[in-house]
Amino acid sequence: MDHFPLRGRVALVTGVSRRIGIAYALTRRLAALGADVLAHSWAPHDAEHPWGADPLGEEGVLGHLRGELPAGAGRVVGRSGDLGDPAEPAAAVDATVAEFGAIDVVVATHARSSLQDLASMTVAELDACWAVNVRGTLLLAQRYAEARDHSRPGGRLVWFSSGQHLGPMPNELPYAASKGALQQLTASLAAEFAPRGVTVNCVNPGPVDTGYADEALHDWVSRRMPFGRWGRPDDVADLVEWLVSDAAAWMTGRTLDHDGGWSLHLHR
């Protein structure tokens, strides 16, 4: 059995600003499978919210990541940058290629969160969510297409929705609009990349316990989950591990509702 099936692959993972977060778990999983990973972070956004952010360096995210990896794992380096800056997506891809000599996988886990309903919604927040969540991801895909050696195996693009296609999010309109747009773009980008041997998929992870919920919300969601618990970051990593593997070479253009049955609650 090959313990490092992603040995020789190179990945860029965005949104790696919290040790309890999904992107941290994805970075750890890909590196543990042998991939070299550039972990991209923009801590100032998370620092603005109650859940906070962890520093990127050796005393923070990177140091903890490296301490958790098995011997023989892939190498992990970090980069900090605001993907709302039009120049940063290309710079992140270029930094990955400069560090590791190639790029095969992009897992765009970053997101700008926003709590604005119709009455409180602002033009500034609409533009900011669009810039980070949609434009930033599309520019990552554009530069990836330019920089990747398409003769290499294992081309993968993975990004995330938050279930806006399954149920309403009236208190998060700028966020929901931008993530919904990204989910709807999945099929179009999959058609663009298929001739290059690259798959493109979107993951809806459902409610994942990354420390953002207060006690009341945590209990409310737990009681409505079919398995009686929130998702865990490693639940998401299980799916992404498959999506970036050779076994998923025939899966593209799909939104996968990997939500522990949360959507069953929404449809009741």
- Catalytic residue list: 175
Q: Which of 62, 53, 3, 72 is nearest to 27 (CA)?
A: 62
What's the Cα-to-Cα distance from 195 to each of 32, 172, 190, 192, rounded to whole Å?
Answer: 30, 36, 9, 7
Taking a C-beta distance cutoff of 8 angstroms, is the pair 62, 56 a contact?
yes
Give the separation between CA 51 and CA 213, rounded to whole angstroms.
9
| Structure-derived torsion over alpha carbons of residues 251, 256, 259, 261, reported in degrees to the nearest 10 | -100
| Three-state secondary structure call for residue 218 | helix
Assign 69 to helix, strand or coil: coil
- Write down the residue that tokens 């952010």 correspond to: 53
